[in-house]
């Protein structure tokens, strides 16, 4: 099938699907119906969609984006590629089929769109010609490409790709016996020699390093331009004359032990020679080049042995190498700098549970453009989202979030913002969602101000008290916001008031607030932050003091496990992938080096008392609260053995306990829609068992 015919058929099929989605009727799912009910149901989760990786064309005319939807038959996420005309509002698919698409990137002239897809059997870079409606694969590589970047003249594409390292001398020297034909042997042993040998989501990794490649944008052989046993990272930034690419890397011999170090480097495409552009203590990354090609802007984070740091914005004059700060005294962490012309940038940052995009002058003056970015995390209300800027006009496209919907595509230009999609109108418009309200109070520990939100059950009656659960976010250096979350709305649909707060240690409130948990994670301090919120809801006449519940995942799971060692006020608890013993965690998890260096005062064997004090296991003798534990069996961030320790300890204490083990799941235990449902429904069943009349 030729590309034009394929595109036409895809366009027809997906346009019909789009038209159906926009109609004011419930949408069909795999069993052809959506339940007739006013409350959010478990099966509704499979029907949810959200936009991500929105990329606006240089002239601002089009927005390409990845449309994420759940597949009830494969229990996976479909990632299709769609296009929105910002002038007419026309919303059409580029590719919406059984294959997966990602990394959309516009050519400098806006006439082509590069992306990655597995449509040819494995992930390759493809280019779509917009006017001609033609598509071609431009790579034939063995590993998955990422971090696509067009050269300024549009003739080449740079990208990142893992390159396997050859076997070490030791591995090659091990003698083996030839397996007889048709013999059935066990799997061969895996030789591990690297310091950083594992990663959650991937397990024990083959020894490989991320290298930079270039390929002609019309197709050809990909050429590797960096080498060495180092992890190079993007974004990749072409110089104005297309002679070199700027990237970030730590190319020191002991880089695996330096969790907070990276510099900006430049690789020449003529001879692959390297030039180091920065050598500051800490990380320099996220480079971006001005329109005139004279200035390089980038972010910097310190290498202080602290769990949290703000990222500041700087610029370098390439002709002289002179560097000056643009924004280095703003008490928020900046992200994703992008030039608009040569005298202004845009940045993204989190502020009090919301993500904002702002213009930044070279004098460091910030001017907010939008403050409703988010919506790309379906299950919980994390402050996560992204934007892109049109290089020629300054218009921005972004993932727009609300308290009652996941991310849609929106654009903002000349002071006006417009929403271009309504991806969940076919589902959420027919559901009576719980009302999301903000709450502010002071912690009983030390009077620290805490901001949070609570969701009322649909049909809430003022003056009536309801079962109440506090749900605690992970990180702990992350944040929640007033965004739609499938888990929280599902709990509310079953009659719970759901409290979620940005306790001390959360991001988006400045460095001092984030550092309030330094050395006290978890502890009586964040425990007080949550209990004070519950007490506030009791005082407001909303929460039922006889029906209180606690839940959380990762850092929230740790806080949950710690809390039940400090109080018996909760009817039941649900801890998802918690840490129970910090000694065993830090010495088995993929985050061991960085966590020990930046979160703890010493190695575990040098300060065992501190590790033990922060461990929920130290309080297990106090626990009487019925506790559910929910963890992926392949979790490498908070390994399954952590959950097993708590389960067996509680069993020895004869505390009602259930352990839910999720096969083949990593730390992102809700990465599949069925697992989002499983987590919610196991929690609801457990809480119902201990709910009082």
Task: Give the model's pLDDT for residue 27.
Answer: 36
Rounded to the nearest 10°, the torsion over CA 509, 510, 516, 522 is 60
Confidence band (pLDDT; 50, 70, 90) for 36? low
Q: 609 vs 9, which has greater pLDDT?
A: 609
Rounded mean pLDDT of 244-266? 95
State the chain's mean pLDDT as an integer. 93
Rounded mean pLDDT of 634-654? 97
Please state, in angstroms and rounded to a whole number, the distance separating the CA atoms of residues 58 and 664: 42
Task: Give the model's pLDDT for residue 190.
Answer: 86
- With contact defined as beta carbons under 8 Å apart, do 635 and 665 qualify? yes
Task: Give the model's pLDDT for residue 350.
Answer: 98
Task: Give the model's pLDDT for residue 388.
Answer: 98
Q: Give the range among 158-167, 270-279, 327-336, 361-370 with minimum mean pLDDT.
A: 158-167
Residue 10 clears pLDDT 80, i.e. is over it: no
Per-residue pLDDT reduced to its tens digit, 375-416? 999 999 999 999 999 999 999 999 999 999 999 999 999 999
Residue 351 clears pLDDT 50, i.e. is over it: yes
Provide, rounded to the nearest whole percent, the portion of the chain with pLDDT above 90.
87
Write out the E strands in 456-561.
466-472, 497-502, 543-553
Rounded mean pLDDT of 207-218? 95
Task: Give the model's pLDDT for residue 427.
Answer: 95
Asked whether the CA dihedral 455, 458, 463, 469 is positive or negative, the reply is negative
Cα-flanking dihedrals φ and ψ of residue 531, to 5°? -65, -35
CA nearest neighbour of 131 among 191, 192, 57: 57
Q: Which helix (H) or strand (E) holds 150?
A: strand 146-150
Residue 144 clears pLDDT 90, i.e. is over it: yes
Please state, in angstroms and rounded to a whole number, the distance separating the CA atoms of residues 129 and 4: 10
Which tokens hold the place of 423?
Answer: 């991806």
- With contact defined as beta carbons under 8 Å apart, do 350 and 358 qualify? no
Please state, in angstroms and rounded to a whole number, the distance separating the CA atoms of residues 362 and 295: 11
Per-residue pLDDT reduced to its tens digit, 427-456? 999 999 999 999 999 999 999 999 999 999
| 436-442, strands of its sheet edge to edge | 436-442, 449-455, 497-502, 466-472, 543-553, 572-576, 627-632, 657-662
Tell how far CA 421 is from the center of its chain.
Answer: 22
Residue 20 clears pLDDT 80, i.e. is over it: no
Task: Give the model's pLDDT for residue 201.
Answer: 82
- With contact defined as beta carbons under 8 Å apart, do 157 and 215 qualify? yes
- With contact defined as beta carbons under 8 Å apart, do 324 and 278 qualify? no
- CA distance between the termini of the chain: 64
CA distances, 559 to each of 124, 525, 562, 669 (Å) = 42, 10, 5, 18
- With contact defined as beta carbons under 8 Å apart, do 663 and 610 qualify? no
Per-residue pLDDT reduced to its tens digit, 182-205? 999 988 888 888 888 888 888 888
Task: Give the model's pLDDT for residue 33.
Answer: 52
Asked whether the CA dihedral 461, 462, 466, 470 is positive or negative, the reply is positive
Please state, in angstroms and rounded to a whole number, the distance separating the CA atoms of residues 28 and 42: 15
Rounded to the nearest 10°, the torsion over CA 92, 97, 103, 104 is -30
Task: Give the model's pLDDT for residue 191.
Answer: 86
Per-residue pLDDT reduced to its tens digit, 79-104? 999 999 999 999 999 999 999 999 99
């Amino acid at each position: 099938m030729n590309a034009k015919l394929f595109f036409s058929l895809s366009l027809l099929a997906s346009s019909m699907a789009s038209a159906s989605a926009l109609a004011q009727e419930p949408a069909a799912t795999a069993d052809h119906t959506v339940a007739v009910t006013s409350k959010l149901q478990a099966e509704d989760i499979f029907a949810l969609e959200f936009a991500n990786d929105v990329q606006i064309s240089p002239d601002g005319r089009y927005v390409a984006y990845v449309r994420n939807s759940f597949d009830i038959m494969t229990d996976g996420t479909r990632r299709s590629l769609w296009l929105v005309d910002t002038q007419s509002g026309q919303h059409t698919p580029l590719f919406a089929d059984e294959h997966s698409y990602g990394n959309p990137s516009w050519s400098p002239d806006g006439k082509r769109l590069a992306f990655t897809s597995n449509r040819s059997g494995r992930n390759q870079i493809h280019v779509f010609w917009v006017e001609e409606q033609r598509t071609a694969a431009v790579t034939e590589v063995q590993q998955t490409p990422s971090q696509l970047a067009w050269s300024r003249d549009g003739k080449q594409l740079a990208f990142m790709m893992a390159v396997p390292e050859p076997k070490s001398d030791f591995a090659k020297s091990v003698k083996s016996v030839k397996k007889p034909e048709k013999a059935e042997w066990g799997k061969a042993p895996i030789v591990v020699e690297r310091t950083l040998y594992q990663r959650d989501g991937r397990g024990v990794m083959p020894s490989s390093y991320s290298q930079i490649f270039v390929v002609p944008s019309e197709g050809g052989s990909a050429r590797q331009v960096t080498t060495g046993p180092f992890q190079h990272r993007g974004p990749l930034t072409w110089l104005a004359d297309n002679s070199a690419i700027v990237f970030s890397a730590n190319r020191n011999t002991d880089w695996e032990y330096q969790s907070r170090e990276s510099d900006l480097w430049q690789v020449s495409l003529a001879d692959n020679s390297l030039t180091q552009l920065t050598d500051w203590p800490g990380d320099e990354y996220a480079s971006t080049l001005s329109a005139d090609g004279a200035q390089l802007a980038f972010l910097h984070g310190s290498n202080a042995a602290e769990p949290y740091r703000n990222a500041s914005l700087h610029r370098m004059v390439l002709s002289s190498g002179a560097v000056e700060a643009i924004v280095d005294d703003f008490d928020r962490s900046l992200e994703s700098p992008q030039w608009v012309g040569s005298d202004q940038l845009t940045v993204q940052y989190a502020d009090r549970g919301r993500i904002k995009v702002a213009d930044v002058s070279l004098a460091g003056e910030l001017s907010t453009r939008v403050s409703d970015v988010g919506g790309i995390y379906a299950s919980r209300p994390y402050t996560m989202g992204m934007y892109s800027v049109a290089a020629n006009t300054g218009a921005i496209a972004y993932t727009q979030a609300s308290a009652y919907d996941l991310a849609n595509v929106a654009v903002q230009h000349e002071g006006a913002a417009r929403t271009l999609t309504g991806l969940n109108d076919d589902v959420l418009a027919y559901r009576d969602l719980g009302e999301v309200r903000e709450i502010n109070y002071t912690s009983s520990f030390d009077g620290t101000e805490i901001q949070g939100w609570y969701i009322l059950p649909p049909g809430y009656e003022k003056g009536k008290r309801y079962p109440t659960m506090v749900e605690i976010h992970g990180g702990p250096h992350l944040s929640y916001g007033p965004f739609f979350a499938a888990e929280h709305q599902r709990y509310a649909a079953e009659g719970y008031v759901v409290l979620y707060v940005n306790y001390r240690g959360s991001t988006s409130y400045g460095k001092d607030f984030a550092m309030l948990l330094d050395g006290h994670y978890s502890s009586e301090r964040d425990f007080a932050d949550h209990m004070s919120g519950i007490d506030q809801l009791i005082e407001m006449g909303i929460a039922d003091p006889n029906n209180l519940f606690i839940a959380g995942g990762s850092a929230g799971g740790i806080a949950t496990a710690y809390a039940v060692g400090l109080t018996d006020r909760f009817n039941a608890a649900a801890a998802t992938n918690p840490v129970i013993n910090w000694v065993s965690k830090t010495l088995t998890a993929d985050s061991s080096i960085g966590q020990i260096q930046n979160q703890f005062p010493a190695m575990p064997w040098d300060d065992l008392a501190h590790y033990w004090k922060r461990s929920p296991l130290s309080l297990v003798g106090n626990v009487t609260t019925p506790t559910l534990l929910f963890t992926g069996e392949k979790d490498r961030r908070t390994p399954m053995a952590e959950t097993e320790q708590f389960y067996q300890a509680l069993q020895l204490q004869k505390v009602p306990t259930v352990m839910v083990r999720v096969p083949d799941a990593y730390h992102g235990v809700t990465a599949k829609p069925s697992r989002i449902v499983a987590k919610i429904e196991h929690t609801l069943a457990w809480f119902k068992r201990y709910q009082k009349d």
